[in-house]
Amino acid sequence: MESIAVVGASLAGLRAVETLRREGFDGRLTLIGAENHLPYDRPPLSKVMLAGGWDESNLSLRTNPYDDLDLDLRLGTRASGLDLDPARRAVLLDGGDRVQADGILLATGSQARTMDGLPGHELDGVCTLRTVDDARDIAARLDASPRVVVVGAGFIGSEVAATCRGRGLDVTVLEALPQPMVRGLGPMLGAVCAQLHRDHGVDLHLGAGVEGFEGDGRVERVRLVDGRTIDADLVVVGIGVVPATDWLEGSGLTLDNGVVCDATLRAAPGVVAAGDVCRWPNPLFDGELMRLEHWTNAAEQGVAAALRLVRAGPDEAGAEPFAPVPFVWSDQYDVKIQSAGRFTGEDEVAIVHGTTEEYRFVALFGRAGRLIGALAFSRPRNLMQYRRMIFERASFAAALEHAHAAS
């Protein structure tokens, strides 16, 4: 393999190019990024960066100089398609350029889901948060002490709400479902998340669907489906993300809520994917098709997809399945929420290592007798132990035993 193009210059793409160089790949290595910034860290955008008075140089994802990577770096450049013909495999760029490459790694991430179908979505002050530019804009608006309405009580919405409360702002959170994150956590743990917000002074409305935004040029209020209105100077919409695969329509790749890959992250001959765009069957969870939107997955999968490109060999004998235990964290108020594994509100659940009332506990999730997930509130040590047990396919009974032995 003489040339590799990595499309997407965020965490997954960066860890991929670093891995390729570490593995001794010395061919032409192109890193293409739509944003006009070097790769940067996104988790701080909803936390310290909105808290104000923070040094943006802390967003760097690399301690060593970029020159060490000897990259053909194309920032502010959008990819518009692929040419998958093995004889002239290439990434097509906006403006007509082609980047010829023997290997292509797709890591274009995801973009914030918007409420563009709703009336008033175009009003000034209706924002989403995905990029550092978004965060700068919202941080500047927070300096004017607005009344903040957050739409969506998922991780991003909850973190924005917590940060704004930390600045002493009035915060209303609107969640369309009966509890925050109820699909992922179930009603009991969703209620714990709801109570955490209320304890910190958030005006939380559950089952509150948004009908539209109203105001004269700038947003002044949010209208709910039930007819009520909520006054607002700033609205942050945090209703999830969609994988950035528009540019791959018609490329010949299988697109279905992401780029569908095999268990080794291969999307097509010479093409692999990593990060938020990648949907692949995880062997550790019986081949369930997964698409993960989390920091740790982007880092791990960027490494794995890069190794897949350079180690598989012509007969593919060196291709290894990617079988991680998903891991995500979220900092809200003074609580560190961490989750490992793959679970839903439907699974068996047991609370160990504390109580939900003190916001310090672990919830273990079991399915068909197996430990498949753990959610921790401010219990990082325990959570990591269960992450390992999930990897080792421990039984639910063994996890409960471990918990009781430790307490």
The mark string for 328-347 relative to other proteins (x by CB under 8 A, - otherwise) is -x-x----x-x---------
Q: Which residues pair with 66 in a beta bridge?
A: none
Whose Cβ is closer to other proteins: residue 28's or residue 336's? 336
Q: Select from 99-107, 251-259, 294-302, 393-401 the region that touches other proteins (CB under 8 A).
A: 294-302
- State residue 264 phi and psi, 5-degree precision: -100, 10
Least Å distance, CB 42 to other proteins, is 11
CB 192 within 8 A of CB 358: no
Distances (CA, A) of 221 to 19, 94, 147, 211: 48, 38, 10, 11
Identify the residue among 155, 213, 327, 333 touching other proteins (CB under 8 A): 327
The mark string for 8-37 relative to other proteins (x by CB under 8 A, - otherwise) is -------x--x-------------------
**Calpha distance 144→142 (Å, rounded):** 5
Residues 118-157 that bind other proteins (CB under 8 A): none
Q: Select from 100-108, 148-156, 216-224, 382-390 the region that touches other proteins (CB under 8 A).
A: 382-390
Q: Select from 78-86, 132-140, 264-272, 379-387 the region that touches other proteins (CB under 8 A).
A: 379-387
Residues 349-378 that bind other proteins (CB under 8 A): 378
**Calpha distance 282→323 (Å, rounded):** 5
- Sheet with 148-151: strands ordered across: 126-128, 234-237, 148-151, 171-175, 203-206
Four-CA torsion 149, 155, 161, 167, nearest 10 degrees: -140
The mark string for 43-62 relative to other proteins (x by CB under 8 A, - otherwise) is x-----------------x-
Q: Select from 92-100, 127-135, 180-188, 293-301 the region that touches other proteins (CB under 8 A).
A: 293-301
- Here the tokens at position 174 are 């609107």
Whose Cβ is closer to other proteins: residue 233's or residue 300's? 300
CB 61 within 8 A of CB 14: yes
Strands 360-367 and 348-355: antiparallel
Binding site for other proteins (CB under 8 A): 15, 18, 41, 43, 61, 63, 295-296, 299-300, 303, 327, 329, 331, 336, 338, 378, 380-381, 383-384, 387-388
